[in-house]
Amino acid sequence: MLTSHRLIAVSAIALGAALAVTASTPLVAQDAVEEDQGPGGGVLMLRAKGDGTAVSAIQLGTDMDVTVSGQVARIRVTQAFRNTSTKWVEASYLYPLPEDGAVDTLKMVVGQRVIIGKIKRREEAQKIYEKAVKDGRKASLVEQQRPNMFTNRVANVGPGETVIVQIEYQMPVRQVGGAFSLRLPLVVGERYVPPHTIVSQAALRDARTITAGAIVRPVPGQMLNPVSIAVHLSPGFTPAGLKSPYHRIAVEGQGASREIRLAGGQVAADRDFELSWRAASNEPVVGAFKQKVGSQTYVMATVVSPITATAPPPPREMVFVIDNSGSMGGDSMVEAKASLEHALRTLRPQDHFNVIRFDDTMTQLFEHSVRATPEQVQTAIRFARSLEATGGTEMLPALKAALADAATVGDASTVRQIIFLTDGDISNEEEMAAAIAADQGKSHLFPVGIGSAPNNYLMARMATMGRGTYTNIGSAEEVSPKMTALLDALQRPAVQDVKVTVSGKVDLTPKILPDIYSGQSLVVLGRTDKLQGTMTVSGRIGARLWSSTLDLSQAVDSPAVAKLWARKRIDDIETERTLGSLDSAKADEEIADIGLDHSLVTSQTSLIAEDRKDPRRPANEPLTREELPLNLPAGWDFDKLIGGEAARLAMTNAAAHGSSVADTAEAVELPETATNFAATLANGLLLALIGGLGLLWQRRRKVAR
């Protein structure tokens, strides 16, 4: 009796095991979007204005003159608008700026006269400009469309005439891992405008403004929008290891200063310009700069975090989000896939991970984050390799999915890191920031800006809101070193709970201090009545306390500090607006005040230069408006973007529907398309074998008895 019981138990276990084989669901790709966004149809706001191969009336040439003193760069951009036609033309040019740049000067050269631009409230500047346009007088208007995207309009350029417009801006030098770098964007990548954001005429106007009039198919041997760049570098120490990863440069000079030029003279404005350098010796680098304006003194201090030792790495959950939309087509997709694969290969079995890809649809590889076993990692690598760049850029659902999974793995000590690989070419940056704010810091976000001209404003904003850092990967050669550096920094403990203390009353910015990752630096700006004493930045690295103190009396004079303070203060206001702690109208008002006080172009203030004297265009001559065509950022796949299905649809759509936005696609449900006969067959045979063996064993026992 006892034996028979045991046998039943044995066979029950065998049956259970066999059924378990059938029921287990390994390697199932699943999508867990909390809110279904419906079939993926999107609008890339490409206007059917011709493909830009037609000769445009206005030819544009740009010269950038960059002066780096200490840790501030001042950039003077001179643009010559030459009218090669026989018509009177109004030209409009969409140009990019560093995400932390602050435009403060506009000059327009008409004949022998230089007209200095004035800072005005946006609406007022627009009125002045429109009046000048109507009167036939020359005028130039610089407006901010995004913190890193501006439009420059020049009115009443006569036949054969050239108008020179000069703008100036400044930006802080970035300091990472002991290297200093400056990144100047030269072209705006075509932005994807998610259809759900186009809800009003104002939104539609915005969408039209931030997208180029035309994008030009690259023609070998032809250069559109040529740029020349000169950098006067005086970092305050002897620079060494000068590098420009995306352009060939010629370097001259010795001692503590260098002159850098583009080796080929001019280049097409089709990729970011980057220059990096190091200090030749280990002499301490000056970390504090000051500027006195009226009764106020402004101060800027850079604090470099220590390179911390790799601690026993805490359990982590890494979520990789990869953009495979049409704008990633070409080199960007290759770089993004290689970066993802590089990161996946560094996962350890104790880590959890997941991969999410998105275009205007999205896929979550695993329903929830899974343990990084070699098999799961292989599955993810296969998934990554299968990605093709196509379609629109619906980034928000992917971000929300990455943030949503937070509660499913590990305990409170689990470090949750989201690595976001994208070119960032979307128009709804603020929605992204708001989604991260809503997460309340459960996840840390590390955007990786892919391609030759990524939207670094989005990268910086996501990193700030998500308490992470951002990295740029602009070429295939950079994948390995930059990803290694990023992943390495993520393995080392960061300085957390950062506090800044200063003697005296100082209005400091940024208000929300980020975690400082190993080798990264923190730039703090302040405004005070009286600059004195020291500034101490303190925090904790794991359980250890860390602090760094700067003597402010050693601060070196620099003419840019006040404006950089103002620029950073605006970021604070935007963050408060996103977090909901500041009313939107009040935020606009504060930004306008800062813009007017410091003569900065902001979302609320514009620079306007008008020729008050002589109306040049005869009243009976019409004015032709022209938006200057843009280059496609280097490495972009023109056909993927412009010739691609998504773009073609958007084009017909935008043309056909004007202000309304219609779905460009129809959903089709796909049937179940796997029989899995192989698995069923294997399970069946396994069961038959178990049963057969059992019967055989029974027979033997009987015979034996």
Partner 1 sequence: MRAATLAFAGVAAFGLFEAASAAIIPAKAVVAQVLLERAFDRSVATHQPVKPWPWADMAPIARITIPRLGLREVALDSGSGQALAFGPTFLPTAAAPGAPGTAVAAAHRDTHFRGLGEAKIGDTIIVEGIDGRSTSYRVDSLQVTRWDRFAVSSDRSAARLALVTCYTFGAVTHGPMRYVVQASKI
692 is a contact residue toward partner 1 (CB under 8 A): yes
Q: Which residue has the tokens 């796997």?
A: 674
Determine, following the binding rule CB under 8 A, whether residue 691 of this chain makes contact with partner 1.
yes
Q: How far apart are CA 257 and CA 232, in angstroms?
A: 7
Per CB under 8 A, the list member of 13, 39, 48, 345 interacting with partner 1 is 39
Task: Give least dist CB 693 to partner 1, A.
Answer: 8
- The answer to whether residue 15 forms part of the interface with partner 1 (CB under 8 A) is yes
Contact between 7 and partner 1 per CB under 8 A: yes
| 578 near partner 1, rule: CB under 8 A | no
Give least dist CB 190 to partner 1, A: 19
SS3 (DSSP) at 411: coil
- Convert 314-356 into a string of H (helix), E (strand) and C (coil): CCEEEEEEEECCHHHCEHHHHHHHHHHHHHHHCCCCCCEEEEE
- Window contacting partner 1 (CB under 8 A); options: 307-315, 426-434, 531-539, 667-675: 667-675
222 binds partner 1 (CB under 8 A): no
x/- contact string, 602-641, with partner 1 (CB under 8 A)?
A: ----------------------------------------
Q: Answer yes or no whether residue 17 interacts with partner 1 by CB under 8 A.
A: no
To partner 1, the closest distance from the beta carbon of 632 in angstroms equals 20
Q: From CA 703, how far away is CA 705, in angstroms rounded?
A: 5
For residues 459 and 442, give the distance between their C-alpha atoms in angstroms, rounded to a whole number. Answer: 19
Among 113, 345, 382, 657, binds partner 1 (CB under 8 A): 382
Distances (CA, A) of 129 to 95, 107, 150: 19, 15, 16
Within 210-352, where are the H helices?
331-345
Residue 35 near partner 1 by CB under 8 A: no
Q: Is residue 14 a contact residue for partner 1 (CB under 8 A)?
A: yes
Dihedral sign of CA atoms 454, 559, 535, 581 in order: negative
Is residue 13 part of the contact set for partner 1 (CB under 8 A)?
A: no
Contact 618, 193 (CB under 8 A): no
* Sequence-separated (6 or more) residues with CB below 8 Å from residue 527: 296, 297, 298, 299, 506, 507, 562, 565
Choose the binding region for partner 1 from 34-42, 134-142, 225-233, 252-260 (rule: CB under 8 A): 34-42
Contact flag: residue 660 with partner 1 (CB under 8 A) = no
Residue closer to partner 1 by CB (options 329, 466) is: 329
Task: Find out whether 387 and 381 touch, Cβ atoms under 8 Å.
Answer: no
**Nearer CB in complex with partner 1: 273/636:** 636
Q: What phi and psi values does residue 330 have, to the nearest 5 degrees?
A: 95, -140
Cβ atoms within 10 Å, residue 110: 22
Cβ–Cβ < 8 Å for 153, 609 = no
Binding flag, residue 276, partner 1 (CB under 8 A): no
Please pick, from the candidates 305, 363, 472, 509, the single residue that binds partner 1 as defined by CB under 8 A. 363
Instruction: Check binding of 379 to partner 1 (CB under 8 A).
Output: yes
Task: Return the range that interacts with partner 1 (CB under 8 A); candidates 8-16, 77-85, 169-177, 598-606.
Answer: 8-16
Task: With beta carbons less than 8 A apart as the criterion, state whether 491 and 516 touch.
Answer: no
Of 148 and 369, which CB lies nearer to partner 1 in the complex structure? 369
CB of 45 to partner 1, least distance (A): 18
Report the residue number, 618 or 677, with the smaller CB distance to partner 1: 677
Residue 671 binding partner 1, by CB under 8 A? yes
Residue 69 CA to residue 66 CA, distance in Å, equals 10
Under the binding rule (CB under 8 A), the answer on residue 698 touching partner 1 is yes
- Binding positions for partner 1, 172-211, rule CB under 8 A: none
Contact between 259 and 250 (Cβ < 8 Å): no
Work out whether 341 is an interface residue with partner 1 (CB under 8 A): no
What does the per-residue mask of binding to partner 1 show for 153-172, with x meaning CB under 8 A? --------------------
Output the smallest distance, CB 541 to partner 1, in A: 42
Q: Are 151 and 625 in contact (CB under 8 A)?
A: no
Q: Is 668 in the site for partner 1 (CB under 8 A)?
A: yes
Residue 26 is a binding residue for partner 1 (CB under 8 A): yes
The number of residues that bind partner 1 (CB under 8 A) is 68
Of 148, 170, 327, 390, the residue at the interface with partner 1 (CB under 8 A) is 390
**343 with 482: CB under 8 angstroms?**
no
Min dist. Cβ of residue 332 to partner 1 (A)? 17
Burial of residue 675, with CB atoms counted within 10 A of its CB: 0-12 exposed, 13-18 middle, 19 or more buried? exposed
656 makes contact with partner 1 (CB under 8 A): no
Q: Restricting to residues 425-454, which ones interact with partner 1 according to CB under 8 A? A: none
Concatenated DSSP letters of 50-106: --S-SPPSEEEEEEEEEEEETTEEEEEEEEEEEE-SSSEEEEEEEEE--TT-EEEEE
Q: How far apart are CA 523 and CA 89, in angstroms?
A: 44
Choice from 240, 614, 681, 700 touching partner 1 (CB under 8 A): 681
Binding site for partner 1 (CB under 8 A): 3-4, 7-8, 11-12, 14-15, 18, 24-31, 36, 39-41, 361-363, 379, 382-383, 386-388, 390, 645, 648-649, 652, 663-681, 683-692, 694-695, 698, 702
